[in-house]
Amino acid sequence: MSKEISKLMSLVLRHDPGRLGLTLDANGWTAIEPLIKRIRGAGYPAFDRPTLDAVVKNNDKQRFTVSDDGQSIRAAQGHSIQIDLGLQPSRPPALLYHGTAAGFIESIREQGLIPGRRQHVHLSMDRDTAVKVGGRHGSPVVLTVEAGKMFDVGISFYQAENGVWLTDLVPVEYLGFALAPED
Ligand code: HQG
């Protein structure tokens, strides 16, 4: 059940709050009490605050952040709706990774990495994570991203509350295509 609820929360907090009749503020936060009520009404009558706290705490990618006052929640990253996470730009590691699918490589070679329907391009700190991310879309391919060099020419990076690195786009000259997951 908690996996289903986690997916519903991702949908609502990243893409479609209206699905549960909710709104997000400019920074992506929504009040927890109404969210709990709406999730109960969506077919999970036993859902309550301890269950929500467990979903947040046990989430494999730490997808959700509870506000310091404990009253609000937001998705740490992955939004398609326009919100401002309020993250400070910071220097990324020299090398980051992007997991994608083999079928996208030709297009990525032409355009670089683009955010698509999301607000940012998402970059992983390690190859294993990138393999998993890419595998969601097909046969996984891991690209390297020369994030340090991008930063040095003035391209901004942000680290989400769950450690994922975000940037607006990755021009093709900073991408390395040599790595396949089985390398
Ligand atoms: C690809 C997950 C063609 C890109 C993950 C990706 C992440 C291009 C797909 C987060 C392209 C977009 C985001 C281009 C990029 N031409 N395809 N020029 N540039 N692409 O799902 O990065 O499990 O929107 O490589 O862990 O896969 O949902 O982005 O394959 O952090 O919490 O277009 O979502 O988190 O797919 O994943 P997505 P993503 P969750």
Query: Does 171 lie in the same domain as 132?
Result: yes
Query: Which pLDDT score is estimated for 178?
Result: 78
Distance between Cα 41 and ligand 1 center (Å): 31
In this prediction the pTM is 0.90
3-state secondary structure the chain: CHHHHHHHHHHHHHHCHHHHCCCCCCCCCEEHHHHHHHHHHCCCCCCCHHHHHHHHHHCCCCCEEECCCCCEEEECCCCCCCCCCCCCECCCCCCEEEEEEHHHHHHHHHHCECCCCCCCEEEECCHHHHHHHHHCCCCEEEEEECHHHHHHCCCCCEECCCCCEEECCECHHHEECCCCCCC
Instruction: Give mean pLDDT, residues 139-146.
Output: 97
Residue 181 has pLDDT above 90, yes or no: no
Q: Which residues contact 68 (CB under 8 A, 6 or more apart)?
A: none
Query: Does 66 lie in the same domain as 126?
Result: no
Which ligand 1 atom is nearest residue 112's CA? 18
By DSSP bridging, strand 165-167 and strand 121-123 are: antiparallel
Residue 179 has pLDDT above 60, yes or no: no
53 located within any domain: yes
Question: 166, 160 in Cβ contact below 8 A?
Answer: yes
What is the rounded end-to-end Cα distance, in angstroms, of the chain?
37
Instruction: Give mean pLDDT, residues 154-180.
Output: 93
Question: Which domain range does residue 137 map to?
Answer: 96-176
Question: 89, 162 in Cβ contact below 8 A?
Answer: no
Residue nearest (by alpha carbon) to ligand 1 atom 36 = 116
Amino acid residing at 77: Q
Distance between Cα 16 and ligand 1 center (Å): 18
- Best residue for ligand 1 mutational test, from 3, 55, 74, 108 (most atoms within 8 Å of Cβ): 108
Residue 173 has pLDDT above 80, yes or no: yes
Query: Does 61 lie in the same domain as 102?
Result: no
Instruction: Give mean pLDDT, residues 38-52.
Output: 97
Which ligand 1 atom is nearest residue 136's CA? 27
CATH number for the domain that contains residue 53: 1.10.10.970
Query: Does 18 lie in the same domain as 49?
Result: yes
The whole-angstrom separation of Cα 33 and Cα 66 is: 12
87 located within any domain: no
Q: Domain count of the chain?
A: 2
Distance between Cα 70 and ligand 1 center (Å): 30
Query: Does 118 lie in the same domain as 57?
Result: no
Query: Which pLDDT score is estimated for 23?
Result: 98
108 located within any domain: yes
Instruction: Give mean pLDDT, residues 40-49.
Output: 97
- From 17, 42, 75, the end of a domain falls on 75
The pLDDT > 90 percentage for the chain reads 96
89 located within any domain: no
- Best residue for ligand 1 mutational test, from 113, 128, 162, 170 (most atoms within 8 Å of Cβ): 113
The whole-angstrom separation of Cα 134 and Cα 182 is: 13
Q: Supply the mean pLDDT for the chain.
A: 95
Which ligand 1 atom is nearest residue 110's CA? 18
Instruction: Give mean pLDDT, residues 127-149.
Output: 97
Query: Does 103 lie in the same domain as 62?
Result: no
Sheet holding 140-145, edge to edge: 96-101, 140-145, 175-176
Query: Does 165 lie in the same domain as 109?
Result: yes
The whole-angstrom separation of Cα 1 and Cα 46 is: 11
- Ligand 1 contacts (CB < 6 A) are 61, 63, 78, 100-101, 104, 107-108, 111, 113-114, 116-118, 122, 133, 137, 164
Instruction: Give mean pLDDT, residues 60-84.
Output: 96
90 located within any domain: no
- From 44, 75, 106, the end of a domain falls on 75
